Each structure stands twice: as C-alpha cells, then as structure tokens.
Amino acid sequence: MKTLLLLRHAKSSWDDFTLDDHDRPLNARGRAGAKAIGDWLRAENIAPQRVLCSTAKRTVETWEGLGLTSDIKFVPSFYHAHPEAMQKHLGRESAETVMLIGHNPGMAALADQLIAEPPKHPRFFDFPTASLAVVDFDAAGWDSIKARSGTARAFVTPADLKTG
C-alpha cells in the first residue's frame, strides 16, 4: 500500500508587491495553517517518509511550518507544475508514504485525477491554501499508479481545524 499526501502551500502574503511571485512568504494565517496541518498529521499518526516540495518561498515555509522531520527534496519544476510533471517525479520514489507540496491549479488537478471517488468535502475541488488530501493506493510502486486508482482517506483544511 502506498500513501500520497497532497498539500497545497499555506496562505501567502501580498504585502510586498515588489517581490517576485516565487519569493512571496507566508502570512500569519498561512503560518498558523501550516502548523495546524502538521499537528493534525501527528494526531493522525501520518508521517511522510519522503517529501517533494516546490522551491517557492511559500512552499518551503509551509514545509517548515509543518514541523516534520521527513527526508525532503526541493524540486524547482514543481513551481506551478502540471499534474503530469508531479506524477513523473512521484514515479521515481520508493518510499511508502510520500508528500507533495505545491501550487494550484496543479495540486487540485492531480488530486482530482488520482482519486477514484472524491471526498464529500465542499472545498475539495478548489483545494484552498494549506489543504491536505491523504490518498491510499493499492500499488507496488509509484510508477504503477493510474488515474482514478486512489482512495481518499482524508481531506482537511485549516478552517476544518479552526485556524482560519
């Protein structure tokens, strides 16, 4: 069994319009959201063995805010990546539980493509900031997962956890 954690970066700041989009940090709400998701993962005893993360500042800060100690690889091409690009990187992994941290619309599209029956959560399809989908696959390797083959174990947002 393989478990995939799909995490969209937490809420970013628009305070400094001189920053390049890639360099925008999290705002206070984003930092609280990332921490809440990390706390939820620990409470649910879900720990990624491997993390693939965009190099954008807001995704790096989201990772840091989770407070996890997994093996991480920063992937420049995850910045606004299409689902196929993220799945290609995922296919090279061997860990049982992998987390991808990225951006919309790619993250929402990847979740929609991989999950057989979408969760009933009203925010699943727009995949708001700091949203996390936990998806299980009955597969020997990441390179063998197919469209609509995943089972949604959970979908959670910071708002569900009362953090905004």
Tokens of 140: 């020997």
Domain count, the chain: 1
Query: Does residue 18 belong to any structural domain of this protein?
Result: no
- Domain limits at 156? 2-11+23-161
User: What's the CA gap between 111 and 124, in Å, rounded?
Assistant: 9
The tens digit of pLDDT for each residue in 60-115 reads 999 999 999 999 999 999 999 999 999 999 999 999 999 999 999 999 999 999 99
What is the edge-to-edge ordering of all strands in the sheet holding 151-156?
71-74, 50-53, 97-102, 2-8, 132-137, 151-156
Query: Does residue 44 belong to any structural domain of this protein?
Result: yes
Query: Does residue 17 belong to any structural domain of this protein?
Result: no
> What is the amino acid identity at position 151?
T
**Which CATH number characterizes residue 128's domain?**
3.40.50.1240
pLDDT class for 162, splitting at 50, 70, 90?
A: confident
Q: What is the mean pLDDT of residues 30-40?
A: 98
Query: Does residue 38 belong to any structural domain of this protein?
Result: yes
Q: Is 130 left (phi over 0), alpha (psi -120 to 50) or beta?
A: left
Query: Does residue 63 belong to any structural domain of this protein?
Result: yes
Tokens of 117: 């029956």
Query: Does residue 87 belong to any structural domain of this protein?
Result: yes
pLDDT at residue 13, rounded to an integer: 97
